[in-house]
Amino acid sequence: MSQTKAQLVSGTTAQDLTVDNINTTSINSGQASGRKNLIINGAMQVAQRGTSSTTSGYGSVDRFRVLYQGTDEAPTQSQVDVASGTTPYTLGFRKALRVTNGNQTSGAGSSDNIKINNIIEGQDINGSGWNYLSSSSFITLSFWVKSSVAQNFYGFIRNTDGTMYQYPFETGSLTADTWTKVTKTISGNSNLQFDNDNGGAWELYIEQFAGTAETASGVTLNAWATYSGTAKMLDFTSTWYTTNDVTFEIIGV
């Protein structure tokens, strides 16, 4: 094994170090750029537009949109404090994005939806070191989430360069008012395309509710498939959506 000489500098003194060369193929599947977070403001610390809004779109936390359609009363998106003593707080997170449901008096309509959305530029995925065309190369999505009602939630990832594909996933059953970490290890697919430019190409949707116009019973979770606007995710439980003033919080994306 070959060796590399380096110097460790501390204050005004220097020491020679001899470091064995590292076989990069055993670290992060040999991806030269290593592990890095591609999500900007995933800690929800920056909210230049304000800390609370009923806008459908960018209204509070930077880089994260809260979108809604068909609601009787607009949901509220807000940047909120993370309570001390919780696991995310002990990990250093201090702010979260919260969605507070309005009063959906007419119930869950087929075209109704509320969702959190984040977009990554094509060049950031293209140059990330993830071989997105290979099923043996992986990227990891993780986040902390909390709902004030116990329920399973769904979301999906979509590429928008070339032919669109989708990757549906679930949070798993959440316990009410309890932070849960969700981790998804996502393989590549030979059909994916992410252009090396600044156009938005990776879209992440974490949904609080989606009506049957967008969902279907036969959707396969945790696998890439051709994008379908009428079958993005599995059918949703409507408990959260039809309960007034319930909340959904996310942090650490």
- How far, in Å, CA of 66 to CA of 102, rounded? 13
Question: Is pLDDT above 60 for 13?
Answer: no
Q: What's the pLDDT score for residue 6?
A: 38
Supply 55's token pair. Answer: 């806008």
Decide if pLDDT at 123 tops 60.
yes
Average pLDDT over residues 63-82: 98
**CA–CA separation, 91 vs 187, rounded Å?**
27
- Please list, in sequence order, all residues whose beta carbon lies within 8 angstroms of the beta carbon of residue 33, skipping any fewer than 6 positions away: 127, 128, 129
Backbone angles phi, psi at 251, to 5 degrees: -160, 165
Q: How far is CA 126 from CA 39, 166, 199, in A?
A: 14, 17, 12
CB 239 within 8 A of CB 160: no
The DSSP line for 27-50 is SGGG-TT-S----TTTT----TT-
Helices (H), the chain: 87-90, 122-126
Residue type, 74: A
The helix or strand, by DSSP H or E, that contains position 179, with its residue range, turns out to be none
- All structural domains of the chain, each given as residue ranges with its CATH number in brackets, are 38-251 (2.60.120.260)
Give me the pLDDT at residue 36, please. 83
Q: Provide the phi-psi class of 200: left if phi over 0, else alpha when psi is between -120 and 50, else beta.
A: beta
One DSSP character per residue, 113-143 reads EEEEEEEEEHHHHHTSS--TT-TT-EEEEEE
pLDDT at 1 over 90: no
pLDDT confidence bin for 7, thresholds 50/70/90: very low
**Residues of the chain above pLDDT 70, percent:** 87
What is the per-residue pLDDT across 193-212, written as a single tens digit (0 to 9) for each? Answer: 999 999 999 999 999 999 99
Segment 35-40 shows an average pLDDT of: 90
Q: Round to whole Å and give the CA distance between 141 and 17.
A: 36
CB 215 within 8 A of CB 233: yes
What's the CA gap between 108 and 241, in Å, rounded? Answer: 7
For residues 148 and 175, give the distance between their C-alpha atoms in angstroms, rounded to a whole number.
Answer: 8
Cβ contact 176:196 at 8 Å: no
Is a pLDDT exceeding 70 seen at residue 91? yes
Count of residues making up the chain: 253
- Checking if the pLDDT of 107 tops 90, the result is yes
Instruction: Look at the alpha carbons of 232, 237, 241, 242 in this order and tell me if their dihedral is positive or negative.
Output: positive
pLDDT computed for residue 25 by the predictor = 41
**pLDDT value, residue 34:** 53
Residue found by looking up tokens 């395309």 in the block: 193
15 or 239: which carries more pLDDT confidence? 239
What is the reported pLDDT for 135? 98
| pLDDT over 90, % of the chain | 86
CA 77 to chain centre: 16
CB 24 within 8 A of CB 4: no
Give the lowest-confidence range in 33-37, 76-80, 139-143, 155-159: 33-37
* Least confident range of 8-22, 45-59, 111-125, 183-197: 8-22
